[in-house]
Amino acid sequence: MSAPGKDAAGAGSARAAGSARPLAARPPGAGLRGELSIPGDKSISHRALIFGALAVGRTEITGLLEGEDVLRTAAAMRALGARVTRTGPGAWQVDGLGVGGLMEPDDILDFGNAGTGVRLCMGLVAGHPITAFFTGDASLRRRPMGRVLDPLMAFGAEVFAGARGLRLPLGLRGAEAPRPADITLTVPSAQVKSAILLAGLAAPGITSLVEPVPTRDHTERLLRHFGAELDIQPLPRGGHRIALRGQPELRPARVAVPGDPSSAAFPLVAALLVPGSELRLRHVLVNPGRIGLLTTLTEMGADITLVNPREEGGEPVADLVVRASRLRGVPVPAERAPSMIDEYPILAIAAALAEGETRMEGLGELRVKESDRLAVMETGLRAAGVSVEAGPDSLTVRGTGPAGRPRGGARIATHLDHRIAMSFLVLGLVSEAGMEVDDGTMIATSFPGFEGLMREVGAEIGGLT
Ligand code: S3P
């Protein structure tokens, strides 16, 4: 594909020269049509491997997301002593060692780009009498780790950090005799919640945790699936009190990983925006803690139908049928943020073509994701000619409405952020001059095969020649 335009957001080139792979997208001649199988859910994939390592015996996983992030967790489980074997596409076996049975790794655990992987593994290590050192790529090394390490110290774990404070690289000595803790989350983060529950598994007695704001509950669901004892009480103003009995013998389980709604979001929004589109996205997770984007898009006038809703492996799943729609801007309330926290970049793209204003609030957490997503979305949308404004924790986008489309014609600096790359490629499908991103390699962290799948249904996305 030829380059559509000028370098409009060049600061902070993504990767070392030579390894980046710029991509471009431009409007296709016809609507996107067909059926897609969405790769496995990233959150559940990490957790399936981790709980497999903590169970006594063999866990069988199907539909595992074979993206870079999850492969790092698989490698970490091996380094901690579990046997992890790939038996076919998406099919993995984990021979676990039991709670308390993990072994000290003999090298640094490198989690690449994966915030979920590293934070959950910190929880694991905190409950074991072992020491581990953690690092990651430039993006992960910038992200805050204090939010997870502070509560883990309550179990008796000890942190070794350098002058940069609680950021990678750092070391963690797990507790010799972990004590159960009573913790209230101060950030609405399922990663922090999960790390605490993983540490609590190794402590005798009851670990209790209050999450004032509900966050994704895959850890709780999988804990039960693997046989842990968990009491979950709703709080009057939302949120939960969770009590976990420590030192259970987790039994191995079968885990069928459904498609990731956070990945489905990209073809879904593309189909809403490219005129004449109709896509069926098969086997997508529709856990209530993950469908804030579907709720918001429906309020915006999107034509999305959930077909054949069913329950699989303790999680609700459905096929999504989506047709091109005229969208209108809506206010998106702050309370909805945890249920769509990874979807704001692509929602902002939908908002850029909607009629009127979309104001998204409660987005402070977006500043500490794989990139500062508020800043990067603001810069990129503006470079593409979209009217946008970011506040400290909000984003307001004024869309073109059905009569127009954004100018596009810009190259976006993705800052090692897979979701920024995919979002602006979707914008490229519906902007006058197309769009480029400086690097598409990070897409493989969560959505391997994105380019090919999108092309299969008619999208014009490809490498630059
Ligand atoms: C995740 C939780 C979210 C999300 C991340 C995956 C998880 O992060 O952004 O992509 O699997 O628990 P926070 O828990 O920090 O909000």
**How confident is the model over 107-160, as pLDDT tens digits?**
999 999 999 999 999 999 999 999 999 999 999 999 999 999 999 999 999 999
Rounded to the nearest angstrom, the distance between the alpha carbon of 116 and the centre of ligand 1 is: 6
Rounded to the nearest angstrom, the distance between the alpha carbon of 438 and the centre of ligand 1 is: 25
pLDDT at 3: 39
**Gap between the Cα atoms of 209 and 125, Å rounded:** 19
Structure token digits, residue 238:
């939302």
Question: pLDDT tens for residues 72-92?
Answer: 999 999 999 999 999 999 999
Question: pTM of the entire structure?
Answer: 0.96
Is 73 close to ligand 1, i.e. is its CB under 6 Å away? no
pLDDT at 314: 86
Mean pLDDT over 159-163 rounds to 94
**Gap between the Cα atoms of 362 and 341, Å rounded:** 10
Q: Is the pLDDT of residue 46 over 50?
A: yes
pLDDT at 346: 99
- Residue 171: is it exposed, middle or buried by C-beta count within 10 angstroms (0-12/13-18/19+)? middle
**Gap between the Cα atoms of 301 and 144, Å rounded:** 37
Is 339 close to ligand 1, i.e. is its CB under 6 Å away? no
Is 341 close to ligand 1, i.e. is its CB under 6 Å away? yes
Is 367 close to ligand 1, i.e. is its CB under 6 Å away? no
Q: Any idea which residue has 């990874």 for tokens?
A: 342
Q: Is the pLDDT of residue 5 over 70?
A: no
Q: Is the pLDDT of residue 6 over 80?
A: no
6-40+258-463 CATH pick, 3.40.50.300, 3.60.15.10, 3.65.10.10, 2.30.42.10: 3.65.10.10
Q: Which fold has domain 42-256?
A: UDP-n-acetylglucosamine1-carboxyvinyl-transferase; Chain (3.65.10)
Q: Coil, helix or strand for 281? A: strand
Q: Ligand 1: which atom is nearest the Cα of residue 369?
A: 9
Q: Is the pLDDT of residue 201 over 60?
A: yes
Q: How is the beta sheet containing 206-211 ordered, strand by strand? A: 182-184, 206-211, 240-245, 230-234
pLDDT at 312: 87
Active site residues: 342
Question: pLDDT tens for residues 387-442?
Answer: 999 999 999 999 999 999 999 999 999 999 999 999 999 999 999 999 999 999 99
Is 216 close to ligand 1, i.e. is its CB under 6 Å away? yes
Dihedral of CA atoms 399, 405, 409, 412 in degrees, nearest 10, equals 30
- Identical fold at 6-40+258-463 and 42-256? yes
Rounded to the nearest angstrom, the distance between the alpha carbon of 48 and the centre of ligand 1 is: 15
Confidence label for 465 from pLDDT (cuts 50, 70 and 90) = low
Q: Give the residue extent of every domain in the chain.
A: 6-40+258-463, 42-256
Q: Any idea which residue has 């908002």 for tokens?
A: 351
pLDDT at 109: 98
Is 114 close to ligand 1, i.e. is its CB under 6 Å away? no
Question: pLDDT tens for residues 277-335?
Answer: 999 999 999 999 999 999 999 999 999 999 999 998 789 999 999 999 999 999 999 99
Is 198 close to ligand 1, i.e. is its CB under 6 Å away? no
Q: Is the pLDDT of residue 10 over 80?
A: no
Mean pLDDT over 436-458 rounds to 98
Q: Probe ligand 1: pick from 140, 213, 341, max atoms within 8 Å of CB?
A: 341
Is 439 close to ligand 1, i.e. is its CB under 6 Å away? no
**∠ Cα 128 181 129 (to 5°):** 10
Mean pLDDT over 180-209 rounds to 98
Rounded to the nearest angstrom, the distance between the alpha carbon of 191 and the centre of ligand 1 is: 5
Sign of the four-CA dihedral 109, 342, 444, 435:
negative
Neighbours of 308 (CB within 10 A): 9
Instruction: Outline where DSSP puts E strands in 148-253.
Output: 158-160, 170-173, 182-184, 206-211, 230-234, 240-245
- Between helix 261-273 and helix 344-353 the angle, nearest 10°, is 10
Q: Probe ligand 1: pick from 41, 42, 43, 145, max atoms within 8 Å of CB?
A: 43
Percent of the chain beyond pLDDT 90?
Answer: 94
**Gap between the Cα atoms of 353 and 349, Å rounded:** 7
Is 116 close to ligand 1, i.e. is its CB under 6 Å away? yes
Q: Ligand 1: which atom is nearest the Cα of residue 194?
A: 12
Confidence label for 15 from pLDDT (cuts 50, 70 and 90) = very low
Q: Closest residue (by CA) to atom 16 of ligand 1?
A: 189
Rounded to the nearest angstrom, the distance between the alpha carbon of 119 and the centre of ligand 1 is: 10
pLDDT at 254: 97
The phi, psi pair for 89, rounded to 5°, reads: -60, 115
| Minimum mean pLDDT range among 14-28, 173-187, 326-340 | 14-28
Is 43 close to ligand 1, i.e. is its CB under 6 Å away? yes
Q: Ligand 1: which atom is nearest the Cα of residue 368?
A: 15
**Gap between the Cα atoms of 217 and 44, Å rounded:** 10
Amino acid 275 reads P
Mean pLDDT over 442-460 rounds to 98
HSE of 357 in the Cβ direction (CA atoms, 13 Å)?
10
| Minimum mean pLDDT range among 4-18, 252-266, 344-358, 361-375 | 4-18
Q: Closest residue (by CA) to atom 15 of ligand 1?
A: 189
Q: Please give the mean pLDDT across all residues of the chain.
A: 95
Amino acid 3 reads A
